[in-house]
């Protein structure tokens, strides 16, 4: 058991965090392999930033343990809470948090000075991380004299300077414009490869999660709904939450009732009842690519009310509503419809997945 723990860069065991009567994280267990780029993704309030703060040592767990490289750094039961500077971890905040009275080099060198590095070693390391981030020319400038994107690079360089084994990122790109976000995503992935550090990255942006991560933990109400490589989560979601949270656009869930040999939604037979595995009611998952607009012979067709259409990577994303249900389809061309017009959504093939009414995948 001890050997298995050492093989994980980060091991979280039955972690709980309560704030008074509110429990933000009820019971979370997770193992992160060395060298991973783990992205914690989920909606606001799902507990991802709370988890990151406990990893960083800024918050104490109510119960459970956190171990880095086999060494316990936080324990709610035994009261072990290692000081943040003793965790060999670096944290990049959402705000850049640069010292305005220090130059770029001064900001990067400060944590090294605090850690007791001598001047020669500090200067060498400052030069290394300036080069790694491509900001050597900014060495003698002050934060007010550089752009937001450059400030973010300085903040990352400052975190990398002490050579931490674990890097923690708290939505570091949220203050950047769209173009800079894309550039910095590539930059962070390059830095990850160059340093080999195990990284934990918090975001609510699923595009960041899917493009940057080696592993993704989808969080919901303080729990990990699913953990694994991005492709696995997209291709085989374990719960309805994951199925409808990931993907652009998200997939479609249709509640279907068993009627004889068929599963029926809104009076339309959709799939064989055998897919329900004896259940009377299930949720059928159809990806947007499985839906076309207009009449389709030999396919189940649902009537909906057209909402909007938008171009997407050479295709068109069409959204419509059927009562409280919102449907999305990816089609080849814009439909001849205005908002509020009736539109036909034809389902192609079998559902991509079948879920129980409680949310778990059953096929």
**For the segment 303-337, what is each residue's pLDDT rounded down to a tens digit?**
999 999 999 989 999 999 998 999 999 999 999 99
DSSP 178-238: HHHHHHHHHHHHHHHHHH--EEEEEES-HHHHHHH-SEEEEEETTEEEEEE-HHHHHHS-S
161-200 pLDDT, tens per residue? 999 999 999 988 887 788 888 888 888 898 899 888 999 9
Q: Selecting from 3.40.50.300, 3.20.20.110, 3.40.50.720, 3.90.1150.10, what CATH number does the domain 2-244 have?
A: 3.40.50.300
pLDDT of residue 355: 98
Question: Does the pLDDT value for residue 5 go beyond 50?
Answer: no
Domain ranges in the chain are: 2-244, 248-356
| Class (C level, CATH) for 248-356 | mainly beta
Q: Which two tokens stand for residue 251?
A: 């997939």
C-alpha–C-alpha distance, residues 45 and 315, integer Å: 33
In this chain, the answer to whether the domains covering 2-244 and 248-356 adopt an identical fold is: no
Determine the Cα–Cα distance for residues 62 and 59; give it in Å rounded to an integer: 9
Whether the CB-CB separation of 209 and 41 falls below 8 Å is answered with yes
Q: Show the tokens assigned to 79.
A: 């009261």
Percent of the chain with pLDDT strictly greater than 90: 74
């Amino acid at each position: 058991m001890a050997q298995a723990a050492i093989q994980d860069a980060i091991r979280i065991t039955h972690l709980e965090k309560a704030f008074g009567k509110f429990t933000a994280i009820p019971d979370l267990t997770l193992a992160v392999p060395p060298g991973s780029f783990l992205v914690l993704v989920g909606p606001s309030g799902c507990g991802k930033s709370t988890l990151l703060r406990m990893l960083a040592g800024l918050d104490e767990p109510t119960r459970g343990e956190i171990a880095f490289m086999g060494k316990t750094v936080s324990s709610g039961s035994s009261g072990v809470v290692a000081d943040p500077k003793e965790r060999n971890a670096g944290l990049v905040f959402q705000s850049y948090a640069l010292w305005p009275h220090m130059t770029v080099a001064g900001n990067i060198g400060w944590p090294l000075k605090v850690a007791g590095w001598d001047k020669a070693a500090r200067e060498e390391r400052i030069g290394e991380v300036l080069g790694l981030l491509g900001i050597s020319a900014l060495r003698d400038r002050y934060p007010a004299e550089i752009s937001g994107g450059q400030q973010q690079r300085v903040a990352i360089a400052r975190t990398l300077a002490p050579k931490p084994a674990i890097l923690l990122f708290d939505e570091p790109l949220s203050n950047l414009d769209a173009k800079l976000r894309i550039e910095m995503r590539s930059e962070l992935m390059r830095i990850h490869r160059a340093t080999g550090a195990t990284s934990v990255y918090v975001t609510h942006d699923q595009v960041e999660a899917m493009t940057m991560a080696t592993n993704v933990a989808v969080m919901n109400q303080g729990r990990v709904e699913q953990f694994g490589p991005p492709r696995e989560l997209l291709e085989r979601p374990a719960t309805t939450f994951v199925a409808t949270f990931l993907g652009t656009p998200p997939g479609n869930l249709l509640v279907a009732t068993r009627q004889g040999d068929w599963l029926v939604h809104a009076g339309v037979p959709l799939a064989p009842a055998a897919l329900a595995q004896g259940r009377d009611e299930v949720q059928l998952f159809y990806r947007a690519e499985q839906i076309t607009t207009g009449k389709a012979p030999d396919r189940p067709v649902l009537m909906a009310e057209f909402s909007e259409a938008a171009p997407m990577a050479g295709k068109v994303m069409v959204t419509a509503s059927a009562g409280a249900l919102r449907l999305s389809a990816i089609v080849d061309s814009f439909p001849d419809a205005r908002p509020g017009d009736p539109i036909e959504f034809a389902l192609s093939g079998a559902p991509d997945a079948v879920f129980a009414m409680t949310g778990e995948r059953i096929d």
